Structure 1
Amino acid sequence: MPQKTSRRELLRRAGAAAVLGVVGSTQVGSAGGATEAAQVTKTAEATQTAGPNTVGIQTLTGGFEIPLDLAFVPGSRQAYVADQQGVVSVYEPGGLRDEPLLDLRDTVEYGGEKGLLGIAVHPNFAENRRLFVRYSAPLGANAPQEFSHTFVLSEFTVNADGRTANRNSERTVLDIPEPQPNHNAGDLAFGPDGYLYVTVGDGGNGGDLGPGHVDDWYGAVPGGNAQDVRRNLLGSILRIDVNGREGGKPYAIPDDNPLVGRPGFDEQYAWGFRNPWRLSFDRGRLFVADVGESEYEEVSLVESGGNYGWNVNEGTHCFAANSCPDRTPPSVRGGEPLVDPIIEYSHSGGPLTGNSVIGGYVYRGSAIPGLQGAYVFGDLDADGQLFVATEPQDGGRWPTRVVDVAGGGSGRLRRIFSFARDPTGELYVLGAGVDGGAVHRVVPASG
C-alpha cells in the first residue's frame, strides 16, 4: 500500500465504506459482542473444496465513482453500468461510451448508502425497451417529515439503438418513504417466472430501532420492521408483475405471492431481512446476501413466505439477547420458522472474515471449470480476495473458502460493490482499487 494516500482516494474509500454501513451500529443494551461470540455454536468455517486457489481479473472499463450494478442487454453486445452517483453508462465492445444512457444526478439523492442502487432490463427488452431503475430521491411532501428520503423504483424507455433512454419516459412503479439514510438495499432482478424481485432494507439505524420502526411480535428487541408485514414494506423481498396493473397501482400482484388473501402486504415475497444488498437467481433458486449488524454476515436461499430472522437473529445467532426463539409465536402467521442462512461468516477473524457481504452468482461459465456450480461472492473489504461456496450433499451449510485474485489484480480489487453474470455464465465483479471504480471479468489466473 502506498505510504501516502490522496484526499480523493480517502473520500472514495469513505464513500465505499458508507455504501453498506460496513462498521454496523452500536446497539445500546445489546447482549451481542463478546457475550455473543463466546456462545457461538454454529461458526462458519472456511473449508477447502475442489477448484482453483487463485483467479485473475480482466478490467473491462473504469472511471466510475462507485459502480453498483451491471446489466447485459438481451440480443446485443451492450451492457449497462450503474454508478451510485446517478449515471447509467453504456459499455460496448469498443469501450465505454462518453454519452450516458441515463443521467439522473439532478434527481438522485446521493451520499452514504443513498444513490442509484440497481438496474434491470426487462426480459423482453428487445421488443419493449423497458429499463427498471432503483434510486434514492428527496423525501416526498406526504411522507413523515422526520424521515430521510424516498425509495423509488421507476421505469424508463430506451431508444432503439440502446445508447440513450428517454428521460421524459419515466414512470414511477413504486415509492416507499425511508425513515433513515442507511440500509437501503436496492437490488432488483427478473426471476425465471418473469416477475420483478426487489430488495428492501429494514429502514436503517442500528438494530432495526428508532424513528420509523414499528413494534413487532418479538419483545426481547423493541421494534422491528423486518418482522412486521402489516405496516410497511421494509425488511423484505418484493415480487411484482410489471406487465400488468391492478387496484390503481402501476403493477399487478402475482396470485401466488404468500400474503395474498392474508394479513400483510401482497407485494411481499419473503421478510426478516436487515439490508439485503444483492440477489441473484440460478436454475430457479434465489440467493440473497444480507448485510449484518456488527457480528455476522449471511447469504440465504430464499423461498416464498420465508422469514429470515432479523432482528431476532443475526445469521444463526441470537441478536441482542442471550436466547431467542427459532420460530414466530403461533399467533404470528401460524408459527413460521426463522430460516437459517446457507452461508455465514464472522467479523472477528478466522480464515473467512469481513464486514459487509456482497452477494454473487453461481458460476455457469466455461473459462474456469473448477468453479462450475459454485457460488462466487465477496465482501466489501475484499483486499484482493473472493469467496467460493459449494453446495453440500447433506443440504446443510455451504462450505466456503477464500480464493485469491492473482498478481496485480489484487490491488485493483480492494473493495467489492457488486457482481454480475453474463448470458454465457461468466462472472464480473464491480469494485474499486488503486485505479478507482471499475468493472472486471473473472478469468483464470495466468501462469
Structure 2
Amino acid sequence: MRNSSRSPSSRRGWFAAIGVSCVVALAAAPAMASTAHEPLGDPTPDIRPGPVRVALTTVTTGVFAPVAGITAAGQPTRLYVVDQVGFLWDVPIGDRSQWPVATRKVLDVSDLVVGPSRKGDERGFLGAAFSPGFARDGLLYTYTSEAADGTADYKVPVSTEACAEILPPDHMSVIRRWHVTTTPSGGLTVDRTQAGQGTRVFTFDQPQFNHNGGDLDFGPDGLLYITSGDGGGKDDQDCQTDFDARPMFGHPGGGNGQNLGTPLGKILRIDPAGRTSANGQYAVPSTNPFVGTPGAAPEIYAYGFRNPFRASFDGADLWTGDVGQNDVEEVDHVLAGRNYGWRLREGAFGFDPAGFASKGFQSDAFVFAQPPQAGLVEPVANYDHDDGTAVIGGFVYRGAAMPALTGTYVFGDFTRRLDNRHGRLFGVDVTPASPSTADNVITELRDGPLDGGVIGFGEDSAKELYVLLVNRDGTGGSVERLDQSTP
C-alpha cells in the first residue's frame, strides 16, 4: 500500500484531557550522514476485511479518555476502567438492559498526575492492575506520570552528543500500591483520606512527555509486568529539536531501546510482594533474564521497544502492540530476554534513523527492505501507515460471544488518518502462537471505521472484550462491548 503522507511520530500523542487533538511537530536537526538505503514507500499489503465482523454496543459514555479495562477477583459484573485524566471508574456490565450505564469513581489520582494538558500529551493515569491475591490482600497497583522530584529509582540516561543539553526530565513514571476497600453496594473504593498517596513501589524518569508505554499486567507467575516506551521524541536518538525548540536529550549512543542500562524501551518484570530492592518496595525475580549481567537493569524482561502500548496475557503468552514511527506498526509475542529490534528495526523492516536533516517538521527516518536479523525477534504481524497511525494492543479472544474469533488477537489502531479520529478494529490468528512470522495476515473486523479513536481495550471476567474510544472532538469517551455479527 502506498504511504502518501509521511507525518512525524508525534502523532502518537492522541490522548486528550478535554478537546485536545494531535500535534505533528518536530523540527530539523543538524545534518547527518547520507545513507545508501532505499526507502520503502509501500512496506506492506493493504488490510482487507476478514470473514468475521463485530458489532459494538455502548456500555457507558461516563468516561473521558479510557485507556484500559481491568477486572478484580470477586467482581464478575464490573469492569474497572482506567481514565487518562486521573480516574479509575467502576463500570457495571452485568445487566445489558441497563446499558449505557452511569459510572462511579473508585480512585482519583488527578492531583498526582502530570498531563494530559496539551496537544499530543501522552502522560497521565496510564495503567492499573489488581493483585492476583486481591480477594485476600485488597491491593491495587497503578501506573502514573508524575512530576520528577529527583528521587527516581532510575534517572534519564546521560546524553553524550555535543548538541544535546542536559535538561531536567519531563516527568517520572511511578508505580504505586493502594489498599482497596469494599463499598456497602459491593463495589470497590480507595479512600484517599486514609490512603494518602499510596506507596511508591518503582519509579523511573522520562526525558520527554511521550512514549510512556504505561501498561500493568500480572502474569500467571504472579509477577508484575510493566511496559515502558523509549523516552519519547523522535528516532530514539539525541539532537533533534523537540517541541520546546531545544535539542533532544536522554537517548545516548544507540538509543534507549537497545540500552540494557535503562528501563526505557523495555518490558519490565518485578515482584511487588518482595522487599529486597534498593528502595525496599519490590524484589527483582531471580529468573529475570538480565540478573547478574554487568550494567544491565535487572528489572528488564525484554527489550527493543519503541512504545509498547497495551499488553495482555493469553495463558502464559504475553502480547503487545508496539507503536511505530513514520511507517510501520507491529504486534509482538514477548519472550524473556529477547530483543524486539527498535531502533534497528521498525516492524519487519530495517530502520534508518539518521536522516532528520532536511524535512523541517518531519523526520527523514524511513524503513528499508532488510531480511530478518540474527538476535532480533520478528513481529507476529505488521502493517503500514496507509492502514493506520498507532497500533493499540488488545487481547487474544477466549470468550463465548464471538466463537469465530477464538484464538484471534483482537487489537486496533487509533485512527486511519490523524485528521478524523476514525479508529479501526483488527484481528490476526495467533493459533498456535508464533513469535517470528511477520507475514501473518491481519484482517479488519468492521465494514467501516469507528466513530472515535481507539485508545484501549478491556477484558471482563468472562473473557469478553471491550474497545475503549475517545470522541472525535476529544471531549469525552466511551466503553463499547464487542459481539460477533453477520458480514
Tell me which interval the TM-score lies in, with the shorter structure as reference length: 0.7 to 0.9
Offset from partner CA, 1:164-213 (integer Å, 9 cap, x none): 10324301011111111111110110011111000011011100123443
Distance in 2 (CA, whole Å) between partners of 1:303 and 1:44 is 27
Structure 1 residue 30: deviation in Å?
9.0
Question: What is the correspondence of 1:89-108 to structure 2 with a 5 Å cutoff?
Answer: 89-92=89-92, 93=94, 99-108=104-113
Structure 1 residue 433: deviation in Å?
3.6
Q: Indicate which of 118, 125, 133 corresponds to 1:116.
A: 125
Bigger Cα displacement from structure 2, 86-95 vs 295-304: 86-95
Structure 1 residue aligned with 2:207: 179
Q: Indicate which of 171, 175, 197 corresponds to 1:153.
A: 175
Distance of aligned partners of 1:404 and 1:324 in 2 relative to their CA distance in 1, 3 Å threshold? closer
Q: Indicate which of 114, 129, 140 corresponds to 2:138.
A: 129
Distance in 1 (CA, whole Å) between partners of 2:228 and 2:219 is 16
Distance in 2 (CA, whole Å) between partners of 1:268 and 1:11 is 30
Distance in 2 (CA, whole Å) between partners of 1:118 and 1:358 is 14
1:67 touches 1:431 (CA, 8 Å); kept in 2?
Answer: yes
Distance in 2 (CA, whole Å) between partners of 1:55 and 1:360 is 15
Q: Indicate which of 325, 339, 345 corresponds to 1:293.
A: 325
Structure 1 residue 293: deviation in Å?
0.8
Structure 2 residue aligned with 1:399: 441
Distance in 2 (CA, whole Å) between partners of 1:260 and 1:425 is 34
Structure 1 residue aligned with 2:162: none
Bigger Cα displacement from structure 2, 389-398 vs 133-142: 389-398
Bigger Cα displacement from structure 2, 63-72 vs 147-156: 63-72
Structure 1 residue 31: deviation in Å?
7.5
Structure 2 residue aligned with 1:262: 293
Structure 1 residue 381: deviation in Å?
0.5
Structure 1 residue 63: deviation in Å?
2.7
Structure 1 residue aligned with 2:159: none
Structure 2 residue aligned with 1:208: 236
Structure 1 residue aligned with 2:10: none
2:79 touches 2:460 (CA, 8 Å); kept in 1?
Answer: no
Structure 1 residue 255: deviation in Å?
1.3
Distance in 2 (CA, whole Å) between partners of 1:135 and 1:266 is 22
Structure 1 residue aligned with 2:479: 439
Structure 1 residue aligned with 2:191: 166
Distance in 2 (CA, whole Å) between partners of 1:105 and 1:13 is 14
Distance of aligned partners of 1:207 and 1:25 in 2 relative to their CA distance in 1, 3 Å threshold? farther
**What letter matches 1:78 in structure 2?**
R
2:456 touches 2:467 (CA, 8 Å); kept in 1?
Answer: yes
Higher relative contact order (CA 8 A, sep 6+): 2
Bigger Cα displacement from structure 2, 170-179 vs 203-212: 203-212
Question: What is the correspondence of 1:22-101 to structure 2 with a 5 Å cutoff?
Answer: 29=32, 35-38=38-41, 40=43, 43=44, 46=47, 51-52=51-52, 54-76=53-75, 77-92=77-92, 93=94, 99-101=104-106
1:27 touches 1:207 (CA, 8 Å); kept in 2?
Answer: no
Whether 1:345 and 2:354 are equivalent positions in the alignment is: no
Structure 1 residue aligned with 2:360: none
Distance in 1 (CA, whole Å) between partners of 2:178 and 2:133 is 14
Distance in 2 (CA, whole Å) between partners of 1:229 and 1:60 is 42
Structure 1 residue 357: deviation in Å?
0.2
Q: Return 5+ residue gaps in structure 2 as ranges.
A: 1-14, 156-165, 239-247, 354-367, 417-421
Distance of aligned partners of 1:13 and 1:388 in 2 relative to their CA distance in 1, 3 Å threshold? farther
Structure 2 residue aligned with 1:4: none
Distance of aligned partners of 1:25 and 1:271 in 2 relative to their CA distance in 1, 3 Å threshold? farther
Distance of aligned partners of 1:108 and 1:11 in 2 relative to their CA distance in 1, 3 Å threshold? closer
CA RMSD of aligned residues (A): 3.0
Distance in 2 (CA, whole Å) between partners of 1:145 and 1:202 is 17
Structure 1 residue 157: deviation in Å?
0.7
| More helix as a share of residues | 1
Distance of aligned partners of 1:234 and 1:48 in 2 relative to their CA distance in 1, 3 Å threshold? same
Question: What is the correspondence of 1:168-317 to structure 2 with a 5 Å cutoff?
Answer: 168-169=194-195, 170-210=198-238, 211-216=248-253, 223-230=254-261, 232-248=262-278, 249-263=280-294, 264-317=296-349
Q: Indicate which of 402, 412, 425 corresponds to 2:463.
A: 425
1:26 touches 1:206 (CA, 8 Å); kept in 2?
Answer: no
**What letter matches 1:84 in structure 2?**
Q
SS in 2 for 1:430: strand
SS in 2 for 1:63: strand
Equivalent pairs counted in the alignment come to: 408
Distance in 2 (CA, whole Å) between partners of 1:110 and 1:214 is 22
SS in 2 for 1:126: helix
Distance in 2 (CA, whole Å) between partners of 1:74 and 1:225 is 36
Offset from partner CA, 1:1-25 (integer Å, 9 cap, x none): xxxxxxxxx977963646xxxx696
SS in 1 for 2:257: helix
Q: Give aligned-pair identity as a percent.
A: 35
Structure 1 residue 81: deviation in Å?
1.2
Distance in 1 (CA, whole Å) between partners of 2:235 and 2:28 is 6
**What letter matches 1:140 in structure 2?**
D
Distance of aligned partners of 1:30 and 1:129 in 2 relative to their CA distance in 1, 3 Å threshold? farther
**What letter matches 2:139 in structure 1?**
R
SS in 1 for 2:182: coil
Whether 1:361 and 2:395 are equivalent positions in the alignment is: yes
1:343 touches 1:400 (CA, 8 Å); kept in 2?
Answer: yes
Distance of aligned partners of 1:70 and 1:24 in 2 relative to their CA distance in 1, 3 Å threshold? farther
SS in 2 for 1:107: coil
Structure 2 residue aligned with 1:219: none
SS in 2 for 1:58: strand
Distance of aligned partners of 1:375 and 1:16 in 2 relative to their CA distance in 1, 3 Å threshold? farther
